[in-house]
Amino acid sequence: MEIINPNASGIDVGSRSHFVAVGQSLEDVKEFGVYSEDLTKLCECLMSYGITSVAMKSTGDYWQNLYAELLKHGIDVVLCNGKFTKHAKGKKTDVKDCRHIQKLHALGLLTSSFLPGETTEKLRTYCRQRSNMLDLAAASSRKMQKYLKFLNFRLDVVVKDVCGLTGLAIIEDICKGNLDPNKLAEHRYYNCKKSKEEIAKALHGNNREDFLFGLKQEFESYNFYQRKIKACDKIIEKFVKEELKKQPENSNLKTCEKPYKRQNKNAPGIKNFNQVAFQYFGGVDLMAIEGLSHSTVLSIMSEIGLEGFHKFSTSKEFVSWLRLAPNNKISGGKILSSKISKGSNRLKIALRQAANAIGNLKDTHLSNFFRRIAYRKGRTAAVSATARKLAVIIWTMVTKKCQYNPPSEYLFLDQKRKLKMVKNIKKNVAKFDLKPEDFGFNNSLIISS
C-alpha cells in the first residue's frame, strides 16, 4: 500500500509510561514516562526524527496532557478510537501496539475523533462540573426523602416537591429541633394545594434521633451542593459574557422574548439567557425550536460549540457522530441489522430529553412527527427519531445561518385562546346576521381604517 504519511509516529498511551514508535523495527520503539519533563523529552525526540504527525489512542484520560504537549511543539495529532487499532496480529504488547498504530497511520488508515476548541472545552468543564453537582444534590434529595419516611413524616404525600419552598422550610425547621406538626405546617407556601391541617396531619412522626441526625446531614449536603451550583452558574455566565465581548459585532443582535420557556429550579442561572444564546450563535435563535430548554441550549454550547458544527461537512455526519442514525450492516445486498449504535454522550442525552418533552406537546410540527412515529414503532423509537430530527435542524440552522421555520406555526396557550375567541365571535355574527351598524360602527370609518 502507498505511504500517505511518511513522517508518522504511533504512540501507545499508558497510565505510567508511553511507548513511541517512529518505525517498524524494534530499535525504533522507545519508552517515556508520564511526568512533564518526560513528555517534553518525548516531543523533542519526535522532532529529532523529523516526525510531523502522530497517532494515538484515546485511552481513558491519560492522553490529554500528552496531546496538549504535542500541539505545543507544533506536531499534528490524530486521536483515534481504540476499536480501529485493536486488531494487531499475535499477542498483545505495548511495543506491538505502538508499531501497529504507526503502520496504520503511515498508510492513512486512521481518522481523528472530534475534539472541540479550547474555548468550548473550558465551557464544557464548567458545565460538566455543574452537572455533577446537580447529580449529587439529587442524591441528597432522595436520601432526605428516605429519612423523612423512616421518621414517618409523609411530606412527599402532601407536597409535590420535597425540595420546593414549603418542603425545604419544613425540613430546615425539623433540623433545628422543632417537631411540633402545627408549627411546621405554618411554613406552607400560599400556592400549596394541601391545607395546613392536612400538612400537620402528615407530620406526626416517631422522632428517632438516628434518623433525625441522618436527615440533618443530608440537608446540609443538599445546601452545600446548591451553593456549588450557584458558583458554577456565576463562572459560566462570566465566561460566556467574556467570549461575547470578543465579538462586538454580535452585541447589537436582539431576539424576541420567550416567556413561555419556563425555567425550573435546575435551569442555568444566567441572566437573560435567551439573548446571550442568540448572540453566542451569531444571530441563530435555537430557543425558537419547541421543546428546547435553557439546559439543552447550554449543552449544545458546551459540548460542541459554534465552531464544532463546521467540523462536520453534512448533517448526516453530525447525526452519525451523535449515534442517532441507524448503523446499517449489509452483506450480500441484504440489510442484516439497522439498529442504532450503542453509546451516548451528554449532547445526545440532552437531545433525547428535549425530544421526550416534544412528545408531550400538542399541534406542533415536531410533536405531530413524534406521534406518527410513536403510533407505528412506539415511544422509544419516536424519541430517537425526533432527537435525530432535532440534530439535523440545529446543524442546518447553525451552519447555514438560517432561522427555524416549521411548516406549521406553533401557537402557545394565549394565542390559541385568542384564535378561539375570534372564531366564536365570527360564528355568532354569522348566526344572528349582525351588521356593523348593530355594533355602532360607521361604514365610512371602517373603509378609511
* 423-442 per-position pLDDT tens digit: 888 888 887 777 777 766 66
Are the CB atoms for 59 and 14 separated by under 8 Å?
yes
Confidence class of residue 50 from pLDDT cuts 50, 70 and 90? very high
How far apart are alpha carbons 195 and 207 in whole angstroms?
Answer: 23
DSSP letter for each residue of 120-189: HHHHHHHHHHHHHHHHHHHHHHHHHHHHHHHTT--HHHH-S-TTSHHHHHHHHHHHTT---HHHHHTT--
Cβ atoms of residues 244 and 276 within 8 Å: yes
CA distance 138 to 222: 8
pLDDT, average across residues 165-178 = 92
Residues in the chain: 449
User: Which residue type does 20 have?
Assistant: V
**Other residues' Cβ atoms within 10 Å of the Cβ of residue 12:** 25
Q: Are 294 and 267 in contact (CB under 8 A)?
A: yes
Q: Closest Cα to residue 369, out of 352, 353, 387, 351?
A: 387
Question: Which range (25-39, 209-223, 407-421) has the least confidence?
Answer: 407-421
Provide the pLDDT for residue 407.
Answer: 76
Per 3-state DSSP, what percentage of the chain is helix, strand, and coil (rounded to 5)? 55, 5, 35
Helix/strand/coil for 309:
helix
Q: What is the mean pLDDT of residues 103-118?
A: 89
pLDDT over 90 at 83, yes or no: no
Element (H, E) at 330: strand 329-331
pLDDT band at 220 (very low <50, low <70, confident <90, very high): very high
Average pLDDT, the chain: 88
The structure's pTM equals 0.83
What band does 19 get if pLDDT is binned at 50, 70 and 90? Answer: very high
- Classified as helix, coil or strand, 78 is strand
Mean pLDDT score, 408-428: 74
**Percent of the chain predicted with pLDDT > 90:** 55
Beta carbons of 124 and 35 less than 8 angstroms apart: no
Average pLDDT estimate for 106-131: 91
Locate 162 and state its grid cell. 420535597
Q: What is the pLDDT of residue 252?
A: 85
pLDDT band at 55 (very low <50, low <70, confident <90, very high): very high
* Residue 446 pLDDT exceeds 50: no
Over residues 289-304, mean pLDDT = 92
Mean pLDDT of 370-387: 93
Grid cell, residue 374, equals 410513536
Residue 20 is placed in which grid cell? 513511541
% the chain with pLDDT above 70: 95
Q: Which three cell numbers stand for residue 61?
A: 484520560
Residue 191 has pLDDT above 90, yes or no: no
d(CA 295, CA 251): 22
Residue type, 68: A
Which residue, 23, 164, 151, is CA-closest to 98?
23
Average pLDDT, integer, range 145-171: 91
* 145, amino acid identity: Q
> Cell numbers 419547541 correspond to what residue?
290
Q: Inform me whether the pLDDT recorded for 389 exceeds 70.
A: yes
User: What is the predicted pLDDT for the residue at 410?
Assistant: 61
Q: What order do you get walking across the sheet with 29-32 strand by strand?
A: 29-32, 18-21, 8-12, 53-57, 76-80
Show Cβ contacts of residue 213 under 8 Å, excluding neighbours closer than 6 positions.
none
Instruction: Supply the pLDDT for residue 375.
Output: 94
Please give the pLDDT value at position 409: 65
Record the cell numbers describing residue 115, joined without a space: 475534539
Q: Is the pLDDT of residue 13 over 60?
A: yes
Check whether 91 has a pLDDT greater than 90: no
Looking at per-residue confidence, does 213 or 410 come out higher? 213
**Distance between CA 102 and CA 11 in Å, rounded?**
7
Model confidence at 445, pLDDT cuts 50, 70, 90, reads very low
pLDDT score of 135: 94
The pLDDT of residue 302 is 93
Question: What's the sign of the alpha-carbon dihedral 125, 127, 129, 131?
Answer: negative
Select the more confidently predicted residue: 136 or 94: 136
Q: How confident is the model at residue 84 (pLDDT cuts 50, 70, 90)?
A: confident
For residue 369, what pLDDT band results from cuts at 50, 70 and 90? very high
* Residue that is written with C-alpha cell 511543539 in the block: 73
Question: What are the chain's domains?
Answer: 8-106 (3.30.420.10), 119-241 (1.10.287), 253-400 (no CATH), 416-448 (no CATH)
pLDDT at 223 over 60: yes
